[in-house]
Amino acid sequence: MSDERKYLVYGGYVVSQRDDEVHYVSPIQVAGLYGVDREKCIIVNSDRDLGIERGNFIELCPQKDGNYNLEERLKEGSEE
């Protein structure tokens, strides 16, 4: 199963565009918003979890703009 994992998923705080309030988005929620299979995710709960090669994974985290379109995010990442 571990060789099928391809995402590092982080939780974090974002300011909602709807109500200007700060909200915590859990890693599980982030995976759901991106529509990725949780079985393919490594949930990162703290910096201590980062003893792995981050470059081997696609990193997903809460987005301020609310855009969780995975294809768009991957395209943006390749343009940087």
Please give the mean pLDDT across all residues of the chain. Answer: 84
Residue 50 carries which DSSP code?
-
In this prediction the pTM is: 0.80
pLDDT at residue number 56? 81
pLDDT range class, residue 79, cuts 50, 70, 90: low
The identity of residue 20, as a single letter, is D
Higher-confidence residue: 2 or 30? 30
Region 3-20: what's the mean pLDDT?
A: 87
Q: How far, in Å, CA of 80 to CA of 78, rounded?
A: 6
pLDDT range class, residue 46, cuts 50, 70, 90: low
